[in-house]
Structure 1
Amino acid sequence: MTLKILDQGLLTTVQDLGRNKFQQFGVSGSGVMDEMAARIANVLIGNKENDAVLEITIIGPTIQFEHGCVIAVCGADLSATIDHQPIPLWRPIYVKEGAILRFGRPIQGCRVYLAVAGGIDVPIVMNSRSTYSRGRFGGYKGRPLQRGDVIKCSPHYSSMTNKLLSYFKKRINASSYMTVNWTIPFFFSSYVNNHHEINFIKGQQFAQFTKEAVAKFESASYTVSPNSDRMGYRMQGPALQLAAPQDLLSEAVPKGTIQVPEDGQPIVLMSDRQTIGGYPKVGYVATISMPSLAQVMPGKKLTFKRISIETAQNELIKREREFLLLKTSLALKIRGLSYATN
């Protein structure tokens, strides 16, 4: 199964859940910006959660399917169509051979994920298929996709994927695509539209900022700068000042670290972040809020809300339990489809 890139859009890369255990060697973790949308896209069509997907940013590509296949499109609403017919998000879709997927005006969010049955088949580099463009490795030739690229997908399907294929092939008509009449519960996708309040926990240097700076950070609105990218989200708003100058040693920085450079404007480190940083850290975006943050369009405003480590952990545990229930319910729905073909 192959995909042909007829137009590359703004920024389309191959990503999975990230390149772990190499940060000590100076290798960025990379991976998807919105982990939740990518995971759901994969499980909707029977893929493994970590299978490689296409991450599409703001202006989408034009893609031709050179073989019939099952896909899912999850995350932002970028007005996706197949052969100029609107398609739904957050559900499995069968696409006929030769059909063309296009994206139009961004309506909500800024990143959408295309999962294809079997997963995008690119070489594994340091335990991941993710693209790290700055390092020019991983993904498809170490770079964003370009017009004329032909992307291979794995031919190895799960039993769930085969059941979906069997169901669709027995029912497809003259239309270029077919989908099911169900989707995931709304609360799994609502974060794409509800991303104005970002939860964070205190960083190592939180107490070293002035009281006025902390009060501003927790109450004022910040605009996501147009200079933001997969490496970091630059914020524009009230400057944060330290109570006294600090001379800090560089140390490892995880995704979600909120650094404050000398100009006082916070920077949230994202998937393609550097591996170490020496700026003061006012906080860390809670893992539960990272998908929401990844969907904030440059130029939009957001606020930061401080929560405790315990609350952040409990919310993450709750989400993962809900996700496990979602996987189980999807398996049952797809099994029911297979029975309907008999």
Structure 2
Amino acid sequence: MIEIVETGPFNTVQDLGRPGYRDIGVSACGAMDPLAVRIGNILVGNEDDAAAIEVQTFPFKLRFETGGVFAVTGADGHPMLDGRELLPWCTHVAEPGQILELRQPPKLARAYIVFRGGLDVPVLMGSRSTSLRGGFGGNAGRPLVKGDRIEFGTSSDALPLPPGGIAVVEPAVALRDVFPAMIEGVLPIRAIAAGEHELFAGDGEAFWSQTWRISSSSDRTGYRLSGEPIKPTATVEMRSHGIVPGVVQVPPGGEPIIQMSDANTAGGYPKIAGVIECDHWRLGQARIGSRLRFVRSTHAEARAVEQAVARYIADIRQTSQMVKRALKAMA
């Protein structure tokens, strides 16, 4: 069990989301950086979709009421256990009474605390994720507050850990040949032209050529981008249609909105592009005020990136199990 000692707004329990209910108006929700949750769960021996804590407002502190195995993934920066700096993207063991602290990370937006066994909160529509707009899921459908106490779930992984834990090279480094680096502080985000792309002048060139900034009017539902407005060549009346995370819509004001994890389930704004799925985690780690540029991509490139990420995850899973089984054989 853990107890929340210090927190801020919008820190929630999240897993990989609840797909399959958009037809009845229920957003998938889930982690803004699903790759960080998936890797953390592999490290501690959980199923990929076990619930974790998503921290996006800092500082954050929790107390281990009972001992447990955990890992902190996602944002850059070093977590601290009883004032001692820990290696991120690595498993650690906490004793009862110890306090884990996460300070403001240097550059990225969100950290994830993953516990062996996950977090024992109710499963609603196949997920433990918090829906803040719906007021359900996670920990009573709301952000975490000081004094909240949450039990660990049960784990089938009884394999031992090495004394120094099991660590991985974070995806931004391990997959640097797959995910292009920032150029002069601008994050490249790959996208594919969407259904209404041809409605915009010059084949939407102004969308692709300029640098956008994530505005302060952004949240888990969507990132509103500030820049030179783009407008369709003609006024078009559109019926509301289904949308998913990654879709880039252009409202009448001309500044795009990227649908994020808590994306609306339907909307009538023209869709100019769709961010490839494997780049969603990079958006999830982009802070308010970050600058980004959209890069034209293809379905073939998106598939190649997906395969590279899948190999990276499979390698982590295999290595983790091999290390644990070797330790068990030596015991």
Secondary structure of residue in 2 paired with 1:93: strand
User: Contact conserved, 1:231 with 1:271, CA < 8 A, in 2?
Assistant: yes
The letter for the 2-side match of 1:183 is V
RMSD (Å), alpha carbons: 1.9
Where structure 1 has 5 or more consecutive residues not aligned to the other structure, the ranges are 169-178
TM-score for both structures, normalised by structure 2? 0.93
Structure 2 residue corresponding to 1:226, chosen from 216, 220, 229: 216
**1:181 Cα deviation (Å)?**
6.8
Code of the aligned partner of 1:201? I
1:73·1:115 contact (CA, 8 Å) conserved in 2?
A: yes
User: What whole-Å deviation, never above 9, does each CA across 1:162-214 have from its counterpart, x for those lacking one?
Assistant: 2236x55xxxxxxxxxx427433663476698581000011100111111x72
Q: Deviations over 1:108-157 (max 9, x none)?
A: 31111110010011001111110001111000000010011001111x22
Q: Measure how far apart 1:232 and its partner are.
A: 0.4
**Equivalent runs, 1:184-263 vs 2, <5 Å:** 184=169, 187-188=173-174, 194=182, 196-211=187-202, 214-263=204-253
C-alpha contact (below 8 Å) 1:59/1:78 kept by paired residues: no
Match of 1:157 in 2: 155
Q: Percent identity?
A: 33
In the alignment, which residue of structure 2 is the partner of 1:309?
299
Partner Cα separation in structure 2 for residue 140 and residue 185 of structure 1: 28
Query: Are 1:13 and 1:54, in contact at CA under 8 Å, matched by a contact in 2?
Result: yes
Q: Would the alpha carbon gap of residues 200 and 307 (structure 1) be closer, same or farther in structure 2, given more than 3 Å must change?
A: same
**What is aligned with 2:282?**
292
Q: Indicate how the Cα distance of structure 1 residues 38 and 277 shifts in structure 2: closer, same or farther if over 3 A, else same.
A: same
Cα deviation, 1:294-327, whole Å, max 9, x if unaligned, reads 1001011111101012221222123213322221
Name the amino acid aligned to 1:200.
A
Give the Å deviation of 1:34: 0.6
Residue in structure 2 matched with residue 264 of structure 1 by the alignment: 254
TM-score by length of 1: 0.90
Q: Which residue of 1 aligns with 2:91?
A: 92
3-state SS in 2 of match to 1:268: strand
Are the counterparts in 2 of residues 76 and 192 from structure 1 also a CA contact under 8 Å?
no
Aligned residues of 2:18 and 2:126 also touching (Cα < 8 A): yes
Residue in 2 aligned with 1:318? Answer: 308
Q: How does 1:121-160 map to 2 (within 5 A)?
A: 121-154=120-153, 156-159=154-157
- Contact preservation (8 Å) 2:78, 2:88: no
Paired with 1:244 and 1:289, the residues of 2 have a C-alpha distance of 31
AA aligned opposite 2:51: A
Taking the aligned partners of 2:174 and 2:34, their CA distance within structure 1 comes to 12
Residue 61 (structure 1) aligned with residue 25 (structure 2) = no
Q: Which residue of 2 aligns with 1:281?
A: 271
- Where structure 2 has 5 or more consecutive residues not aligned to the other structure, the ranges are none
Aligned to 1:32: 31
* More displaced 10-residue stretch of structure 1: 307-316 or 27-36: 307-316
**CA pair 51-300 structure 1, distance change in 2 beyond 3 A:** same
Does the residue aligned with 1:230 lie in a helix, a strand or coil?
coil
Tell me which residue corresponds to 2:3: 4
* Alignment-derived partner of residue 175 in structure 1: none
Aligned residue pairs, count: 325
Structure 1 residues 18 and 192: CA distance shift in structure 2, 3 A: farther
State the distance in 1 between where 2:141 and 2:329 align.
Answer: 43
Kept after mapping to 1: 8 A contact 2:89/2:170: no
Hey, what's the Cα distance between the residues in 1 that align with 2:165 and 2:181?
Answer: 24
CA contact (8 A) 1:10 1:59 kept: no
3-state DSSP class of the match of 2:110?
Answer: strand
Query: How many Å apart are 1:10 and its aligned residue?
Result: 3.5
SS in structure 2 at match of 1:17: coil
Give the Cα separation in 1 of the matches to 2:309 and 2:57.
26
Task: Report if aligned partners of 1:12, 1:60 keep a CA contact under 8 Å in 2.
Answer: no
Structure 1: how far apart are the matches of 2:2 and 2:91?
Answer: 17
CA deviation after TM superposition for structure 1 residue 238, in Å: 1.6
- Indicate the SS of the match to 1:33: coil
Give me the whole-angstrom Cα distance separating, in 1, the residues matched to 2:223 and 2:174.
24
C-alpha separation between the residues in 1 aligned to 2:242 and 2:307? 25
User: Is residue 5–residue 64 contact of structure 1 (8 Å, CA) maintained in 2?
Assistant: yes
